[in-house]
Amino acid sequence: MMGSAQRLGVADALAWAALLLGMPAILPGQSVGFVEYPIPTLVSSPDGIAWGPDGAMWFAEGYGNKIGRIAPTGVITEYAVPTPSSLPQGIAAGPDAALWFIEFYGDKIGRITTAGVITEYGLAPSSSPNGIAQGPDGAM
């Protein structure tokens, strides 16, 4: 399916699904329906999804080198990650009303505001971060 359009699906406000290469992965929740959203960038390889404080769903686009946002209206906006070919992955809402993601090849942690402003924080060379989450103290 390489070269084909990729989609992000939403079962409802409590269950999310990412259709990666045609293989759905669904988180638990009460499903009342299912809506697919075509991602504008072909072969973007969506990875991770999180609710933002703005009520939108945010997701990383690894091969597209972008962070995507699905507004409650269904409109998708994509934001380019400044470091080329950084392979953004995973995304989590932070305590600061922003969303945080990792850049696997870029050796960085990224932060995107709900206005789409991206800030990158460098890590040690070849660190290849793999995932991000909020800790018990609320810090990322």
CATH number for 95: 2.130.10.10
Determine the residue type at 103: E
Q: CA angle, corner 132, sides to 42 and 16, nearest 5?
A: 55
What is the chain's mean pLDDT, rounded? 83
Q: In total, how many domains does the chain have?
A: 1
**pLDDT tens figures, 112-132:** 999 999 999 999 999 999 889
Residues paired with 109 in a beta bridge = 102, 121
SS3 89: strand
The model's pTM: 0.78
* 128 within some domain: no
Q: Is residue 74 part of a domain?
A: yes
Tell me what pLDDT residue 33 has: 61
Q: Is residue 129 part of a domain?
A: no
d(CA 105, CA 113): 22
